[in-house]
Amino acid sequence: MSFNFVILGHFIGDFLLQNNYTSGNKGKDLKALGLHVGLYFLGLCMLLLIYPSLSLFLYCAINAILHYFVDGVTSPYSAKLYEAENKRKFFLLFGFDQMVHMLCLSVTYGVMFAKSGFFL
Protein backbone atom coordinates (compact mmCIF):
# COMPACT_ATOMS: atom_id res chain seq x y z
CA MET A 1 0.00 0.00 0.00
CA SER A 2 1.36 3.40 -0.87
CA PHE A 3 1.33 6.57 1.19
CA ASN A 4 -1.35 7.82 -1.22
CA PHE A 5 -3.88 5.69 0.65
CA VAL A 6 -2.86 7.42 3.89
CA ILE A 7 -3.47 10.81 2.26
CA LEU A 8 -6.88 9.55 1.12
CA GLY A 9 -7.67 8.40 4.67
CA HIS A 10 -6.64 11.83 5.95
CA PHE A 11 -8.93 13.54 3.44
CA ILE A 12 -11.86 11.29 4.34
CA GLY A 13 -11.36 11.76 8.07
CA ASP A 14 -10.47 15.43 8.14
CA PHE A 15 -13.04 16.62 5.59
CA LEU A 16 -15.63 14.16 4.26
CA LEU A 17 -16.74 12.74 7.62
CA GLN A 18 -16.96 16.12 9.32
CA ASN A 19 -20.20 18.04 9.81
CA ASN A 20 -21.12 21.65 10.52
CA TYR A 21 -20.94 21.11 14.29
CA THR A 22 -17.39 19.74 14.31
CA SER A 23 -16.14 22.16 11.65
CA GLY A 24 -17.64 25.20 13.33
CA ASN A 25 -16.89 24.37 16.94
CA LYS A 26 -13.66 22.36 17.17
CA GLY A 27 -11.75 25.58 17.85
CA LYS A 28 -14.08 26.62 20.68
CA ASP A 29 -15.24 23.41 22.35
CA LEU A 30 -13.22 20.38 23.45
CA LYS A 31 -16.24 18.11 22.92
CA ALA A 32 -16.44 19.18 19.27
CA LEU A 33 -12.67 18.75 18.91
CA GLY A 34 -12.94 15.26 20.41
CA LEU A 35 -15.73 14.36 18.00
CA HIS A 36 -13.70 15.78 15.10
CA VAL A 37 -10.72 13.62 16.06
CA GLY A 38 -12.94 10.55 16.54
CA LEU A 39 -14.29 10.96 13.03
CA TYR A 40 -10.77 11.56 11.76
CA PHE A 41 -9.68 8.31 13.40
CA LEU A 42 -12.52 6.47 11.66
CA GLY A 43 -11.44 7.92 8.32
CA LEU A 44 -7.87 6.73 8.82
CA CYS A 45 -9.10 3.35 10.05
CA MET A 46 -10.75 2.77 6.69
CA LEU A 47 -7.22 1.77 5.65
CA LEU A 48 -7.74 -1.30 7.82
CA LEU A 49 -10.41 -2.51 5.38
CA ILE A 50 -7.67 -2.84 2.76
CA TYR A 51 -4.75 -3.89 4.98
CA PRO A 52 -5.90 -5.20 8.36
CA SER A 53 -3.03 -5.20 10.86
CA LEU A 54 -2.32 -4.22 14.44
CA SER A 55 0.59 -2.00 13.38
CA LEU A 56 -1.69 -0.07 11.01
CA PHE A 57 -4.30 0.30 13.78
CA LEU A 58 -1.59 1.72 16.06
CA TYR A 59 -0.50 4.04 13.24
CA CYS A 60 -4.07 5.35 12.98
CA ALA A 61 -4.35 5.78 16.76
CA ILE A 62 -1.01 7.61 17.06
CA ASN A 63 -1.96 9.96 14.24
CA ALA A 64 -5.39 10.63 15.74
CA ILE A 65 -3.67 11.67 18.98
CA LEU A 66 -1.24 13.89 17.06
CA HIS A 67 -4.20 15.31 15.12
CA TYR A 68 -5.88 16.24 18.42
CA PHE A 69 -2.86 18.21 19.57
CA VAL A 70 -2.29 19.95 16.22
CA ASP A 71 -5.93 20.98 15.89
CA GLY A 72 -6.07 21.85 19.57
CA VAL A 73 -3.47 24.52 18.87
CA THR A 74 -4.47 25.70 15.38
CA SER A 75 -8.28 25.54 15.51
CA PRO A 76 -8.87 28.29 18.09
CA TYR A 77 -6.81 30.69 15.96
CA SER A 78 -8.51 29.52 12.77
CA ALA A 79 -11.92 30.12 14.31
CA LYS A 80 -10.99 33.68 15.29
CA LEU A 81 -9.56 34.44 11.85
CA TYR A 82 -12.64 32.97 10.14
CA GLU A 83 -15.02 35.02 12.28
CA ALA A 84 -12.97 38.16 11.64
CA GLU A 85 -13.17 37.38 7.91
CA ASN A 86 -9.40 37.59 7.63
CA LYS A 87 -9.26 35.23 4.65
CA ARG A 88 -5.57 35.56 3.90
CA LYS A 89 -4.40 34.71 7.42
CA PHE A 90 -7.11 32.04 7.76
CA PHE A 91 -5.92 30.21 4.64
CA LEU A 92 -2.27 30.62 5.60
CA LEU A 93 -3.02 28.98 8.93
CA PHE A 94 -5.15 26.32 7.23
CA GLY A 95 -2.26 25.49 4.89
CA PHE A 96 0.16 25.36 7.80
CA ASP A 97 -2.22 23.07 9.71
CA GLN A 98 -2.43 20.67 6.77
CA MET A 99 1.34 20.75 6.30
CA VAL A 100 1.84 19.75 9.96
CA HIS A 101 -0.71 16.93 9.56
CA MET A 102 1.14 15.64 6.48
CA LEU A 103 4.43 15.86 8.35
CA CYS A 104 2.99 13.83 11.24
CA LEU A 105 1.55 11.24 8.88
CA SER A 106 4.74 10.91 6.84
CA VAL A 107 7.17 10.77 9.79
CA THR A 108 5.15 8.15 11.65
CA TYR A 109 4.76 6.24 8.38
CA GLY A 110 8.51 6.22 7.84
CA VAL A 111 9.30 5.28 11.43
CA MET A 112 6.72 2.50 11.63
CA PHE A 113 6.78 0.96 8.16
CA ALA A 114 9.80 1.91 6.06
CA LYS A 115 12.07 -0.88 7.34
CA SER A 116 9.41 -3.58 7.45
CA GLY A 117 8.61 -3.41 3.75
CA PHE A 118 4.90 -3.54 4.66
CA PHE A 119 4.31 -0.24 2.95
CA LEU A 120 6.15 0.42 -0.25
Domain range annotation of the chain: 3-113
- In degrees, rounded to 5, the angle at the alpha carbon of residue 64 between the alpha carbons of residues 105 and 15 is 80
Mean pLDDT of the chain: 93
Beta carbons of 109 and 119 less than 8 angstroms apart: yes
Give the DSSP per-residue string, 48-103: HHHS--HHHHHHHHHHHHHHHHHHHHHHHHHHHHHHTT-HHHHHHHHHHHHHHHHH
The pLDDT of residue 114: 77
Determine if residue 2 is left, alpha or beta; phi over 0 gives left, psi from -120 to 50 gives alpha, anything else beta: beta
> How is residue 115 annotated by DSSP?
T
Reply yes or no on whether the pLDDT at 115 is more than 90.
no
> How is residue 41 annotated by DSSP?
H
Q: What is the pTM of this model?
A: 0.91
Reply yes or no on whether the pLDDT at 120 is more than 70.
no
